Structure 1
Amino acid sequence: MLGLIRAEFRKIFTTNLWWALLIPVALLGFGAGWLGTAVVAIIDMVEQFNRSVPLGLLSVSMSTNFSTIFAALFGAMAYAGEHRNKSITTTYLTGNPRGAVLCAKLVAYGAVGFVYGLTNVLSASLGGLLGAGQDFRNFGDPVDWISVGAAGVLAMVLWTLLGVGFGALVANAVLAIIVPLVYKFVVEFILSLGLMDSHAAGIGPYLPGAAGNGIVSNLAVPLFVAAVAGPDEPNIPRAAFEFLHLFFGGDYGHPWWASLLTFAVYTALFITGGWLISRRRDIA
């Protein structure tokens, strides 16, 4: 098993895909961090607040929810790329049984997904520091920042693993790229609009993309609102939450851990489906 895992790492690091997809993750993280805290600095010039405005928390949420698609694409190419290059035949012949190959890919790609998540959080932190003029108050309470950052890393790992399962399911490089992009940014967007103000609106938080986004957003938004409102304003209007969720993802009143469990189920289903299909698929 260790040999299979080492082989997967060699496959990853001898190609350009892993760092090519890491670059937009770093840029999105840095840009979102810089923009978020720069906005706070501008607001603070106009009106002095007696407490911090930790837009850095929302910046991590935004950058994570945009960057996870790159982690999913990276994971999807775990199988789809090998089918395209015809190297899957050698992989299966030397790594029998096929379930062991899947496990090795999950470990190796999950580890790189962790690097993606960490890069996103560190880039957002660096961008936030520069945007705020090295003012740490815009990151909020350190515990809140670490919690949101950890949730972002976890979300990135899960999206990577879901991508591995999807790649095993379709075994087609074109589909592995197009389907996740179209679903996340087109299909689910249309579904979400259709569910708004309908009797089935409660389904929205359980859609795959919404659940994946909610891992971070449903944690970051309440922490941000609580930090801005302070302990003296316990009755925060629902509209404040809904406005922020509209831009930064997530759903009002839906806990982050429920989004985590929902998305973990989707990840497990794709991995299981990929395993069942790949173990019966003919190879040339």
Structure 2
Amino acid sequence: MAGLIRAEFRKIFTVHLWWALLIPVVVLSFGAGWLGTAVGTINDLEQTLGRPLPLGLLTQALSTNFSTIFAALFGTLAVAGEHRNRSITTSYLTGNPRGAVLGAKLIAYTGMGVLYGLVNVLFASLGALLGAGLDGFGNPSDWFAVGGSGLLAMVLWTLLGVGFGALVTNSVVAIVVLLVYKFAFEFIASMFLTGSHAADVTAYLPGAAGNGIVSNLAVPIFVSAVAGPDEPYTPQGVFELLHFFFGGTYGHPWWSSLLTFAGYTAVFVVGGWLLSRRRDIT
């Protein structure tokens, strides 16, 4: 197994895809962290309250929810890319049983997901530091909590991509489906469900659950900082407005989003493993 894992890392670093997809993560994370802290309404609110607000936590969530798609695409091409260039045949023949090959990919891409997550946290924090200063992060424990949840989200999106790529195998179709679903289909579906009896279902959709891992932690922390300890109740509309811009769902705990999205990841990984055992590779 150790040899298969080394082989996977060798495949990853032999081609340029890993850093080509990491570049937009750097740009988006830094841009969201820097420009997100320049929101005029928040600046006015800070002046009104007379104290700094942890806007860096919100921009951390924003950067993560935009950047995870690149981790998912990277994971998708772990298997689908090998089907495209026919190297999957050699991988399966030299790494028999096939499940061991997929297991090695999952381990290697977990490590790459951690790398993507760390880069996201680092550059989002640098951007927020530039835009809001050190006071824009709140308590260090809050920063570690939000950053850690972002790291988990990035790893899970990477592994979901590996499982999805093993299911679909056609790299073009897999990429298009991921992009259309994350940025179009689920948004449209959520709009239709809003105000209906099934509105609560949106929190359990894959994209909303993935975004909620970070946002459902960052938004309540931010609202608590704004309201202060003497405010027992914050209007629901405040939460909903912040969730609209920074992701997540009102009243849905972050750990529930984590478990939901982990469930989707497990379904895709197991499904990809089952199909890969039977698929013709000649």
- CA shift, 1:46, in A, is 8.3
CA RMSD of aligned residues (A): 1.5
Give secondary structure in 2 for the equivalent of 1:158: helix
Residue type of the alignment partner of 1:225: V
> 2-side partners of 1:61 and 1:46: how far apart?
20
Q: Deviations over 1:24-51 (max 9, x none)?
A: 1111110011112333798269835333
> 2-side partners of 1:40 and 1:51: how far apart?
15
CA distance 1:199–1:44, shift in 2 (3 Å): closer
8 Å CA contact retained: 1:40, 1:53 = no
- CA shift, 1:276, in A, is 0.6
Match of 1:147 in 2: 145
Give secondary structure in 2 for the equivalent of 1:151: helix
Selected match of 2:242 from 222, 241, 244: 244
Pairing 1:34-45 to 2, within 5 Å after superposition:
34-39=34-39, 43=43
CA distance 1:47–1:172, shift in 2 (3 Å): same
Selected match of 2:227 from 226, 229, 254: 229
> 2-side partners of 1:199 and 1:38: how far apart?
37
Q: 5+ unaligned residues in a row in structure 2: which ranges?
A: none
Match of 1:173 in 2: 171
Pairing 1:1-284 to 2, within 5 Å after superposition:
1-39=1-39, 43=43, 47=47, 49-132=49-132, 135-284=133-282
The alignment-based identity, stated in percent, is 72
- CA shift, 1:278, in A, is 0.6
- CA shift, 1:177, in A, is 0.8
> 2-side partners of 1:41 and 1:115: how far apart?
34
> 2-side partners of 1:108 and 1:45: how far apart?
45
Q: Deviations over 1:69-127 (max 9, x none)?
A: 10000000000110111100110000000000011000101110111011001001111
Residue type of the alignment partner of 2:125: S
Residue type of the alignment partner of 1:147: A
> 1-side partners of 2:42 and 2:70: how far apart?
31
> 2-side partners of 1:55 and 1:265: how far apart?
30
Q: 5+ unaligned residues in a row in structure 1: which ranges?
A: none
Under a length normalisation based on structure 2, what TM-score does the superposition of the two structures give?
A: 0.97
8 Å CA contact retained: 1:68, 1:159 = yes
> 2-side partners of 1:131 and 1:218: how far apart?
23
